[in-house]
Structure 1
Amino acid sequence: VLTHLVPPFCSGVITGIFPIAEVFILWRLTPIPYYRRREIPIFHPLTVKPAQFLVRMLIPTAIFGFALGVLRTVASNIVLPAADLTMLLVMGAAACLGMLITIATIFISKNEGHWDLIFRTLLPFIALAAISLPFLDSPSSLLACLALIVGYMCFEALMWIFFADLAQEFRLSPIFVFGTGRGTLALASLFGTLFAMTPIGDASSMITGADYGSGALLVLFALILGYVLSPRQREVKAIVAAPTEGVNVDQGTEALKKHIAALDEKDATAEKAPAPESEEPQETPQDAEEGRRAKGRFHAQCEAIADRYLLSRRETEVMFLLAKGHNAAFIQDQLCISKSTAKTHINHIYRKLDIHTQQELLSMVEAAKREAYDSENNPPRR
Structure 2
Amino acid sequence: MNARDGEQSVGRGWLDVKGSIVDYMLVIIGFGLCRAWIVSCLSASVASFGPRTDWVFLLAGAASASLTAMAMTRFVGSLPRMHERLTDVMTGLILGSAICIPAAAWLDSPTLLMLGLIVGGAGAGLLQVIWGERFAAQNLFFSLACAPAAAIITGIVLAMSSTDNQLTFVVLPILSLLLLVLECKRCKIEWKTGLPEGVVEDDLDEAVIAPDEHGVLRDRMRLGKDSAKLLVSIMVFSFLIRAFDAFPIGDLDPFEMVGGSGSFSLVIVGAIFLAISFFIKDRMNVSLVYRLSLPIMIAGLIAMALLFEQRTYFSVLATSIGYELFDILSWVLFGEISRRIGRNAAPYVFGLGVAFTFTGMAAGYVLSAVLNPLVVSGAVRIGSVALIAILCLVVIAFLVLPESAIASMTAIKMPGKKTEAPKPDPAIEREPTITLEEKCSGIARECGLTPREEEVLAFLARGRTLTIVARDLHIAKNTARTHIEKIYQKTGIHKQQELIDFIEEWEPEENARKAADA
Q: TM-score, normalised by structure 2?
A: 0.37
Q: TM-score, normalised by structure 1?
A: 0.47
